[in-house]
Structure 1
Amino acid sequence: MTRTSGLKRKAVADSERKAKRARGETDLSENLRWLHVGDLIKEVCPLITLTSTTLEGRSKVAGFDIDFTVIKTASGKKFATGASDWEWWNECVPTKLQKLHKDGYRVVFFTNQAGIEKMKVKPEEAFICTGNNHYRKPSTLMWEYFEEQCNNGVKVNHQNSLYVGDAAGRSKDWEPGKPKDFSCSDRMFALNLKIKFYTPEEFFLEKPPAKFKWGCVDPTTYLKKAPTPSATTYHSKTKEVIILVGPPASGKSTFRKRHLEPHGYVAINRDTLGTMSKCIKAAKDALSKGSSVVVDNTNPSADARSAFVKLGEEMGVACRCFWMATPIELAKHLNLVRQNQTNGEVRRIPDVAYNVYKKNYQEPSKSEGFSEIVKIDFCPKFDSQKDEVLFKQRTCAGH
């Protein structure tokens, strides 16, 4: 290509851009930029965005999932075979999106792409949660980042905004021949944001809503039924060993920090110390120095508990068992809440850990050598309003 022809092409492109601006159209191609947000997780940022500081801020937002909501695979496969393997979900999609823009909506795309963290796919779209981290829908952090950083300071009116997605909790054959939705995360995302929700069929094709199931614990309903925190004193004036029993994220660590450590109990935790032998040594050292100890592990079986019971007998101190009676599904919810509370600093515990716990679980018995077994019901007590808000948000703990 000659320099003259290149200049001509540039002049034509400049002319086209000016014409678009005169018609009130926006040419985004010049201004959109990839931005990596947050600390690295496995050398991948938890959130990747494609945005621009020149985009107009708007108070109405139309949010969309991407896969099988605005596009689908051209090959008909579940997962795209490459960057070109896509087509519009329906031919009416681009027209509807353009109408939303003209009607004053900011059209934004939010998608979960866990394959990025696993290094299976390359990012190609905007506001992408790259793994099972704190930005993952139905967590609202992706949307909140958009509101705070990418809407030019304009406050979003949630009542006038909407979200469209295909993860809607619909059962198999919600429409003849249709498979069960893989989750309810898109519907939960909209609920957590307090905005209107539509499936692609409802929004683009104007079909009636289909029946669905949330498929997870309802934290708001749980709060209404939850026992109120008691004024029970849990610590002892005499030296002892306390063994906590409960699934991951059932409230064990919070309990011992609130009720035991302030009274001099030394926490023994395998996640921190690494091996059982180091835990036994640390417990023995603490008892030798006159301190009580609290063993903060899941301790599901009699065998897992026996070494600490035996240590108590050897040291001549009583051994009590505190059994955290938090339902497994609620513990899974708390697992995700904790990840969101800490902005991903504490990663979610995978479901396999709960399966292992259930497989090995044996209800504690005094015949193991305990002087007492204390059942501890989960009683929500929030340290801040933010913690309460996060607890009340729906999570995909049941999926």
Structure 2
Amino acid sequence: MSKRTATKRKAATTAEHEIKRAKGETNLFNLKWYEHGEPLSKGFVPLVYLYGDTLPGCSKIASFDMDSTLISVKSGAKFAKNHADWIWWHETVPKKLAELHKDGYRLIIFTNQGGIEKHHTKLDDIKRKCEKLIEETNAPIYVFIATGENHFRKPATSMYDFFVENCNQNVEIDKKNSFYCGDAAGRINNWTAGKKKDFSCADRKFAHNIGLTFKTPEECFLDEAPTTKFEWGSINPGEYINKLSNGKTTNETKTYHKSTQEVVILQGPPASGKSTFSRRYFQPYNYEIINRDKLQTPAKCLKAAKEALDSGQSVVIDNTNPAAASRSEYIALAESHKIPCRCFVLNTPIELCHHLNYVRVHQTSGEVRRIPDVGYNVYKKNYEAPKANEGLAEIINIDFIPKFDTETHEKIFHYYTES
């Protein structure tokens, strides 16, 4: 074949590949790009995935993070400049992937790509990069991309769950012979001589949550021994809650409501359980729940509370209410209606609040968004413990004891979450 002929054939192949890309297909193994979920920030759906419905299901899976696990940034920059700015993490990687495919494993990438929410061009770059990985490996690789801060983001299990339920032809996963590999392993500084600590433990947590053996890239591709020098970086929810409640859970029905009209103010950090407490103990008794997340502004909350009281209802102020000033208007409202005002303080430890912050994102399939850390900082800055001389008829402390509405919610609660 002449050099000129080879050049023409390469150009034709490239053109064919671009036509298939426009249709959402890759040029290998009949894989196709799909989107799942309701659009979130800037119109992006929460999950983008590459899958081939003509391929058989596999009982064994070899799954991987992508960045700093399968590939590195070629330019040496912190983030890739474009779809071509990458090299294999190690020269053994494509060979190992091809061997795993030959041994009957389904190759899968599960990757968090939060930057997609900020940069529209990044998704296309990631797609092109994944397609090139497949081409150079010469084996089909499914890809699942969590596009931002949503319930598909690792270490939540939603990407894996979606694969099992929709992309494996109903074949059950052999978890004992499957694994997940990633670089976010929680390894501490100098876990081996001269190595810096990992930026997070999200990959190790993800493997734990989905029940697969975890491997670092060094273990998987270089046959190094597993390191024991790592930290989870967040609470173990099962151990934590056992210690907090001495292993007790509760399904008992407690009574906190009154038969006479009143104002109830809840006070506690973000994700401390206030909305669940309102829904469980007051809403069934015709209390109007006043929530700023729904009403948007303090003025609208105060107006809604007044209207409910004017109609004869009791109200629950389901906001963080950290300062005396934030509580004073509702106390005054109660006084103007000549009814008592009680305050319920949710004593949920702050580290558990951070855990619950992620839990409810997963439990609601992303309907409830994660509260950023600044929300906790503002709460701490403004905090004043409630006092009777504010005009409160009663101050009641509520300790956190787990009570789960469903088995699924209990399962999600016990997952590791981000730091």
Return the TM-score normalized by structure 2.
0.85
Is the aligned partner of 1:171 residue 2:193? no
**2:38 match:** 39
Q: Residue 352 of structure 2: which of 330, 336, 345 is its match?
A: 330
Is the aligned partner of 1:156 residue 2:173? yes
SS of equivalent residue, structure 1 residue 110: strand
Q: Residue 296 of structure 1: which of 301, 308, 318 is its match?
A: 318
| Contact persistence 1:118–1:131 (CA under 8 A) | no
Is the aligned partner of 1:307 residue 2:307? no
Matches within 5 A, 1:1-399: 29-42=28-41, 43-119=43-119, 121-122=122-123, 123-124=126-127, 125=130, 126-210=143-227, 211-225=229-243, 226=245, 228-229=249-250, 231-396=253-418, 398=419
One-letter identity of the residue aligned with 1:35: Y
Residues 173 and 54 (structure 1), Cα distance of their counterparts in 2 relative to 1, 3 Å cut: same
- Please list the CA deviations of residues 171-192 of structure 1 after superposition, one character each: whole Å capped at 9, or x if unmatched: 2222233222111110011000
CA shift for structure 1 position 54: 2.2
One-letter identity of the residue aligned with 2:326: A
| Contact persistence 2:347–2:398 (CA under 8 A) | yes
CA shift for structure 1 position 30: 5.0
Structure 1 alignment gaps of length 5 or more: 14-26
Q: Please provide the CA RMSD for this pair.
A: 2.1
Structure 2 alignment gaps of length 5 or more: 14-25, 131-142
Q: How many angstroms apart in 1 are the aligned matches of 2:164 and 2:394?
A: 52
CA shift for structure 1 position 333: 1.5
Q: How many angstroms apart in 2 are the aligned matches of 1:162 and 1:274?
A: 44
Return the TM-score normalized by structure 1.
0.89
One-letter identity of the residue aligned with 1:80: A
| Contact persistence 1:110–1:128 (CA under 8 A) | yes
- Please list the CA deviations of residues 367-391 of structure 1 after superposition, one character each: whole Å capped at 9, or x if unmatched: 2221111111122111111111111
Q: How many angstroms apart in 2 are the aligned matches of 1:216 and 1:275?
A: 33
- Please list the CA deviations of residues 185-216 of structure 1 after superposition, one character each: whole Å capped at 9, or x if unmatched: 10011000111001111221122222111111
Aligned residue pair count: 378
Q: Percent identity?
A: 53
Q: How many angstroms apart in 1 are the aligned matches of 2:249 and 2:173?
A: 36
CA shift for structure 1 position 309: 1.3
| Contact persistence 2:29–2:52 (CA under 8 A) | no
SS of equivalent residue, structure 2 residue 299: helix
**1:16 match:** none
One-letter identity of the residue aligned with 1:72: S
One-letter identity of the residue aligned with 2:398: I
CA shift for structure 1 position 284: 2.3
Q: How many angstroms apart in 2 are the aligned matches of 1:9 and 1:283?
A: 72
Q: How many angstroms apart in 1 are the aligned matches of 2:249 and 2:91?
A: 54
SS of equivalent residue, structure 1 residue 127: strand
CA shift for structure 1 position 249: 1.6
One-letter identity of the residue aligned with 2:34: L
| Contact persistence 1:266–1:291 (CA under 8 A) | yes
- Please list the CA deviations of residues 109-141 of structure 1 after superposition, one character each: whole Å capped at 9, or x if unmatched: 110000112226223232111101111111111
| Contact persistence 1:234–1:260 (CA under 8 A) | yes
- Please list the CA deviations of residues 84-105 of structure 1 after superposition, one character each: whole Å capped at 9, or x if unmatched: 1111111111111111112221
